[in-house]
Every structure is written in C-alpha cells, then in structure tokens.
A and B are shown apart, each in its own frame.
Chain A
Amino acid sequence: MAESHNNAEMAKTPLYDLHVECGAKMVEFAGYAMPVTFPAGIIKEHLHTRAKAGLFDVSHMGQVRLKGAGAAEALEALVPGDIVGLEKGAQRYTLFTNDKGGILDDLMVTNTGEDLFLVVNAACKEQDIAHLRKHLGDKVEIEVLEDRALLALQGPTAAGVMEELAPELTKLVFMTGAWATLEGAECFVTRSGYTGEDGYEISVPADRAEALARKLLAHPDVEAIGLGARDSLRLEAGLCLYGHDLDTDTNLVAANLKWVLSKPRRADGERAGGFPGADVTLSEFAEGSPRKRVGLAPQGRAPVREGVEIVNGEGQVVGVVTSGGYGPSVEKPVAMGYVNTDCSAMGTELKAIVRGKEVPVTVVSATFVEHRYYRG
C-alpha cells in the first residue's frame, strides 16, 4: 500500500491547488499529479455523477489544433474516420493506427470551422504530437495548446448547470461543439465525455480554468470527481481505456469498434483505406478478427481484474481481461476483455481464474449501463 508522493517532480494542471484545497488524494498519472479521489470516495463520486453532475479535471490530456486548407485530407492519412466529411461543429471519435492497423491512441476530432481540434490521451500525447509532425508537418500547421485546461462536466443535470452559464450550449447535441463565453473566458465546448452520461468537455484558457471550476462547483448539483470514479464510470459504460483495452497489437475490428471505420473509408467507400494498416484492417473488417473485445459479467462479488485469464469449459485459455473492477451503479463486478471469436457470442459461459480459483463469467455487451447521451 506504500505510495510515493513526489509531487514536486510531477507536472501540475491549472487546477492543482483547487484539488488540494478540496481534499483530493493526489497520485501520479501520465506524469501529472492528479486527483484520484476526493473525500467522498470513489463510490459516492461515481453515483453522484450518474445522479447529478460531476466535474472532472482532464487537463493532462493533449489538446492540438490542426490548421490549413488541407487539414482534414491530411489527417485522414493517419486515422480510419471520415474527417473530410466532418461538418462544422461536428465531433468524431477516431484512432491513430500503425502499419499493422494496431492502435497507437484513440482521440476526439472536432471541426471548429476554423481548424480541427484534437484531444488525445495524456500518456500518448508526446508520441501523438511527434507522429502528427512527422506525417503532417509539411502539410498543415500543428499547434499544441499548452495554455489550455480541459474540464469535463458529466451527468444528467450537466445541461441544467450549463444553462446558467451559457444557455445556447444546451442546444448542442452529442458529439458536436461550439465556442462559448463561460465566466468571461473564451471556451471551446463539446457535448461529449467518457462516462456514458450526457455532458460537456470544456477547453478553457489555463489562467481562467480555476475560476470556471469554482463557478461550476458552486452549483449545488456539481461535485468534484477524481480519476478513480472516471475509470469506474467509463468501464461500466463499456468505453475503452487506451493502454488497457486498446494497444498497438489490437485493431479496430478486434476491439469491436467497427463503427469507427467510417463508411467513406471502407472497401466500397469513396476514399477506401488510405490510413496506416488499412489492408489488414479492411481484410479483418470483411473476414472477422480471430479475437474480439466483449463485456464479461462475473458471477458473485469478487472483482475480476485486468490480466486475469479466461478459460473455456475444457480449461483452455481463450482470453484475458483488459479492464475489470466493481461497478457502483450496477452494484456488482464488471469487466471487459478479449476472447477468441468462437467464444464471443453473447451468453457464452466461461471462467475467469482469480487467484487460482474459477469464477464463472458470462459474455455480455460491454455496455453495463445504458448510455444517456443527448441527441436532441
């Protein structure tokens, strides 16, 4: 249980002092000192987010702007999503792939009208930026937004909270974004998040982030939520965490993210392929992948965690858990992982080997709680 607290060596987000003031337990994550929990604790923070609204500091994530006439065409050379067809204000979830179709990172791309706004994972951002510069550096202007924080406001009353700051933002639908003035700060706001709930992600100038966070936290519905609950919320919602559920040896077909291969980029599309590893990806898209990401519902109360092996009735290893823990909203253990495709049908009964003991698990949809996105 020993933990190091070398906060001095870690990077701090603009909300560091506020987290400490709120009593957060700070831990190292991707080189940043981040709040893992607040005094309420993971379960209460998780349940509060699903009941009202939680405020998350995700400023450790990378924010990048791609500018120039050919930015969309250029970015399509690195991702399997339709970026050229992304209308002004529209946002898309996509992936950076390697030459084998393996996933280098997952990211959000929004067409702001003036440029493409990218949000990438904290742990991958240096590598992503190098990747962008290497492949797109001579075609588009790449601006890394070091001077902006990123806040996520998530939960069923997030829109009601936002209405008091910028009523026009309640009209945004899921996966769209717009500029707005919040507490006098020019923010780029998207109707998105990573909890399965309705909500917003707010890109705010670093020097205005604390004032905005304090304003949001002053609302009776809003509580500060740590990375611990962020993880349990996204796991219950069946959303992948890079480095755990997605990696360089996994393509979008195996990851059960076939929808991420946009129609124009498919074999019969007008801009078929054209991203790294497209040949392998398109082939597996048509033929199927030897393994597949699924949800796993363990019987009983013992959490089935990352790294646990999954076996079939004959005791042969047929898969592995990539994320697992306890789902506070469903009040039972939840997990996701990869299994051989012949074991991936919903309802398949398998066993997880937890500390040498067999725990029965059922293959289920990874979406343990219904998504409640606002689609208008």
Chain B
Amino acid sequence: MSGLKFTEDHEWLSMESDEVGVVGITDYAQAQLGDLVFVELPEVGREVSQGEDIGVVESVKTASDIKSPVSGVVVAVNEALSDEPGKVNEDPTGEGWIYKISLSNASEVESLMDDAAYKALTGE
C-alpha cells in the first residue's frame, strides 16, 4: 500500500483526507505478535498526544500497547475487531484498521517513516 506512514513502534497511519488519518498495526507487528485474541479500542472523542498509549492488542501470549502515531481526537473505531480481532492478522492495513483520528498537528506526519525507511527498520 502506498502512502502509508510508519512509527518505530510498528503502527501505520494513512491519511484519508487532509484532517483525518486511519491507524493500525503493521503486517510485521501482527506477524511478531501472532494470533490476536483481543483489541482494546480507544473511546471515540478521546484526545491523544503523539506517542501516547491509545489501545492494546493482545495475542495468545502477550499484550502490546498501541501508541498513537500522531496527536488529535479519535473520531471512529473499528468495532468489528471486538468480535473478530483476527482481522488484524488477516488484513492489518485494510479491514484490520483500529481507529481514525482527526489530527491536531498535521506536521507530525512528516516525523513518521515512509515505506522504504520502515522496511529498512524491520529488515524486510
């Protein structure tokens, strides 16, 4: 997928408009975690700062924090993950999206990695 931006903590951000971005965890992250059994979604309306813990993904073995790639307000969450957390494994950058955020500081997007930089980080 082109246009995705990445964090060192293995979240991705995709801007669907000038203000609103979609967030999930990367394919690398889901592969490392293994089968997900629970996603703790943030509450719609919550304000979050860049890098702050916003939710949790849990595999059979472990829990891992989701850190928001950018600052802003949560405007939507993927309720489908409550019943089917495995969607994150199957389609991490598509149906496995986690939340949408209205950015409060669009310039933060520039601080994120592009595809090439993220691939270099994960050695893929």
Contacts and interface: CB of A to CB of B under 8 A. Distances in A.
A301 B82 CA distance: 8
B105 to A, nearest CB: 26
Interface in A150-194: none
A302 interface: yes
B51 to A, nearest CB: 16
B29 A42 contact: no
B33 interface: yes
A8 interface: no
Contacts of A42: 34-35, 59-61
A232 B62 CA distance: 12
Contacts of B82: 301
Interface in A66-87: none
Interface string B7-51: 001100000000000000000010011110110100000000000
Contacts of A326: 37-38, 58, 60
B58 A43 contact: no
Contacts of B37: 43, 301, 303, 326, 333
A326 B34 CA distance: 13
Contacts of B40: 302, 355
Interface string A223-250: 0000010011000000000000000000
A333 B60 CA distance: 9
B61 A231 contact: yes
Given A302-B38, A326-B38, A232 B32 contact: no
- Residue of B10, B58, B82 ringed by the most chain A CB atoms within 10 A: B58
A1 B63 contact: no
Contacts of B59: 42
Interface in A213-272: 228, 231-232
Contact of A232 (B29, B58, B60): B60
Interface residues of B, number: 19
Contacts of A360: none
A43 B60 CA distance: 8
B76 interface: no
B84 to A, nearest CB: 11
B13 to A, nearest CB: 18
A305 interface: yes
A352 to B, nearest CB: 13
A362 interface: no
Contacts of A41: 34-35
A1 B35 contact: no
Contact of A303 (B10, B35, B63): B63
A237 to B, nearest CB: 15
A1 B38 contact: no
Nearest to B61: A228
Nearest to A227: B61
A233 to B, nearest CB: 11
B4 interface: no
A1 B34 contact: no
A37 B35 CA distance: 11
A89 interface: no
Given A1-B10, A1-B32, A355-B56, A301 B38 contact: yes
Interface in A279-310: 301-303, 305
A255 B114 CA distance: 52
Contacts of A301: 37-38, 82, 85
Interface string A1-20: 10100000000000000000
28 contacts: A1-B10, A3-B32, A37-B34, A41-B34, A42-B34, A42-B35, A42-B60, A42-B61, A43-B37, A228-B34, A228-B60, A228-B61, A231-B61, A232-B60, A301-B38, A301-B82, A301-B85, A302-B38, A302-B40, A303-B37, A303-B38, A303-B58, A303-B63, A326-B37, A326-B58, A326-B60, A328-B60, A333-B38
